């Protein structure tokens, strides 16, 4: 029996899945595959907690697909290079009529998919691919001069106009014809894949499954969205959607999120600001596509390659482990280490501290985040780091440097967040906790590793030197 094949990658859901929807419209049996590539994950610095999140969501997806009479089969290969041969074998052994998949936009994934499509063409096999990770297709948003947008505000305005006319949600497909296939040589059980071992303590905070993601979206629009403008910058308050892990792994689509914001009612300030967060995600993905060098560890502003970054292993390690002597920085980094996630305001503060106060290369911070974030997304992570380092598109001006102490006083005024992650400082007053002094600092908490004023001058000097060299 000929059948359709759906190749799942970063789109682990049933609803609003273009590839799955179209495969099920052919009125043939449908089968599905997932190809694990642990060696490739390691090369991409994918966090163990994120990979385990994939595992848990794949189990849920397998159950959901079974209700549609679709079997999800698992394979494991060392790298992307083996996948074209594997796809060709699957086509021949399972009598596949056509391959369906949703596009990915990182450089390595583009090369992988191009190699698969070339192999399909060579042996006369059909395939269909679809745009999925974006609200609007690549190259659909251009300036009047026909060039990619370099600044977020005009990009977002242009995107909002386009979304009024070209927005579509795919419904969940109806059950397909039942089918069975023979087990192949490289096929394995989900449990047999080389998954990393992580603490199960995160499972309650990041529950797996498409229905959990949809429920979290609904919960966000029941209450937190109403105070989003005021609460989104407060790390001690659950004022954000906490949907980023589900978006990063395709458990829910960005289109579903946008639709929910439009169905909420009048687009007030809270809604508009949250939509802008979705559009920042969109902006960075379009930037990744239009400027592929950013997925190859290159700055968007090429001239910033000349910045003389410092190489200080001790200070880098202190930042990574949350031992800088600046409480908000340390609490944020410990949140990353224990939860596999960090509040967005804190991501900006710790990134600017590393790149400006420590003057350490942003790529080291970008990599550390990818190695620990459950929501690690190349485009968003790279865009955020280059924004803070003043090396990216529409980045913060180099002379705007967040002071971690004043940021702490502003966004965690009572030290609630700090006390949660730094219990050794819990006894300090609301005033003292933002920067303990020698008298009230406990012995097990470090002194500040740098002088903020001196480091600010050093950073300004490094960037001014760059500007002079360019001129």
CA dist 370 → 41, 248, 328, 379, 386 (Å): 11, 12, 21, 11, 14
Q: 258 catalytic, yes or no?
A: no
d(CA 202, CA 205): 5
Q: 362 catalytic, yes or no?
A: yes
d(CA 76, CA 38): 8
CA dist 449 → 329, 357, 426 (Å): 12, 10, 21
Provide CB contacts within 8 A for 151, sequence distance 6+: 393, 394
Instruction: Establish how many alpha carbons lie within 13 A of residue 151's alpha carbon, considering only the half-sphere containing its beta carbon.
Output: 5
Q: 210 catalytic, yes or no?
A: no
Q: Strands across the sheet with 187-188, in order?
A: 126-130, 96-102, 3-8, 29-36, 72-76, 187-188
| CB atoms near residue 192 (< 10 Å) | 11
Question: In the structure encoding, which two tokens stand for residue 110, read together?
Answer: 């583009």
Question: In the structure encoding, which two tokens stand for residue 43, read together?
Answer: 């090369």
CA-based angle 464:470:471, to the nearest 5? 90
Give backbone dihedrals phi and psi of 4, rounded to 5 degrees, phi first. Answer: -95, 145
Say which of 108, 276, 344, 403 is annotated catalytic: 344
Cβ(96)–Cβ(248) under 8 Å? no
CA-based angle 381:8:278, to the nearest 5? 35
Q: What share of the chain is helix, strand, coil (3-state, %, to 5)?
A: 50, 5, 40
Give backbone dihedrals phi and psi of 307, rounded to 5 degrees, phi first. Answer: -60, 135
Cβ(425)–Cβ(442) under 8 Å? yes
Say which of 97, 219, 276, 309 is annotated catalytic: 309
First-residue to last-residue Cα distance in the chain: 67
Say which of 41, 94, 274, 385 is annotated catalytic: 385
Q: 385 catalytic, yes or no?
A: yes
Pairing of strands 72-76, 187-188: antiparallel
| CB atoms near residue 171 (< 10 Å) | 9
Number of H helices, E strands in the chain: 19, 6
Say which of 108, 219, 276, 277 is annotated catalytic: 277
Say which of 280, 300, 319, 341 is annotated catalytic: 280
Question: In the structure encoding, which two tokens stand for residue 137, read together?
Answer: 């297709």
Residue 436 φ/ψ region, left for φ over 0, alpha for ψ in the -120 to 50 degree band, beta for the rest: beta
Instruction: Provide the annotated active-site residues.
Output: 277, 280, 309, 344, 362, 385
């Amino acid at each position: 029996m000929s059948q359709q094949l759906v190749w799942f990658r970063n789109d682990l859901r049933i609803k609003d899945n273009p590839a799955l929807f179209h495969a099920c419209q052919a009125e043939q049996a449908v089968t599905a595959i997932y190809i694990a590539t642990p060696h490739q994950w390691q090369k991409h610095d994918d966090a163990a907690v994120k990979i385990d999140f994939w595992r848990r969501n794949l189990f849920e997806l397998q159950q959901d697909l079974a209700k549609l009479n679709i079997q999800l089969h698992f394979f494991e290969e060392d790298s992307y290079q083996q996948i074209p041969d594997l796809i060709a074998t699957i086509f021949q052994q399972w009598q596949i009529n056509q391959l369906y998949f949703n596009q990915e936009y990182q450089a390595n994934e583009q090369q992988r998919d191009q190699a698969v499509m070339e192999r399909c063409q060579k042996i006369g096999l059909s395939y269909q691919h679809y745009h999925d990770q974006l609200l609007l297709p690549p190259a659909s948003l251009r300036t009047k001069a026909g060039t990619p947008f370099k600044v977020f505000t005009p990009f977002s305005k242009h995107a909002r106009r386009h979304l009024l006319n070209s927005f579509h949600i795919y419904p969940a497909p109806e059950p397909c014809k039942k089918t069975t296939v023979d087990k192949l040589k490289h096929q394995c059980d989900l449990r047999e894949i080389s998954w990393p071992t992580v603490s199960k303590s995160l499972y309650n905070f990041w529950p797996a499954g498409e229905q959990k993601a949809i429920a979290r979206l609904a919960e966000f629009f029941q209450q937190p969205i109403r105070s989003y403008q005021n609460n989104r910058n407060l790390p001690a308050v659950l004022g954000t959607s906490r949907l980023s892990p589900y978006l990063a792994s395709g458990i829910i689509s960005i289109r579903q999120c946008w639709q929910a914001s439009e169905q909420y009612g009048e687009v007030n300030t809270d809604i508009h600001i949250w939509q802008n967060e979705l559009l920042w995600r969109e902006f960075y993905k379009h930037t990744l596509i239009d400027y592929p060098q950013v997925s190859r560890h290159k700055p968007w502003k090429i001239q910033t390659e000349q910045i003389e970054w410092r190489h200080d292993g001790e200070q880098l390690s202190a930042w990574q482990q949350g031992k800088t002597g600046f409480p908000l920085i340390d609490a944020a980094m410990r949140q990353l280490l224990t939860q596999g996630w960090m509040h967005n305001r804190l991501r900006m503060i710790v990134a600017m501290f590393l790149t400006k106060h420590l003057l350490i290369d942003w790529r080291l911070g970008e990599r550390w985040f990818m190695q620990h974030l459950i929501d690690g997304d190349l485009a968003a992570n790279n865009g955020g780091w280059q924004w803070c380092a003043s090396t990216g598109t529409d980045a913060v001006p180099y002379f705007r440097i967040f002071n971690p102490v004043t940021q702490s006083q502003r966004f965690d005024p009572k030290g609630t967040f700090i006390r949660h992650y730094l219990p050794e400082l819990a006894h300090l007053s609301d005033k003292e906790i933002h920067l303990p002094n020698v008298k009230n600092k406990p012995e097990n908490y470090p002194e500040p590793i740098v002088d903020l004023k001196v480091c600010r001058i050093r950073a300004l000097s490094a960037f001014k030197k760059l500007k002079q060299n360019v001129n």
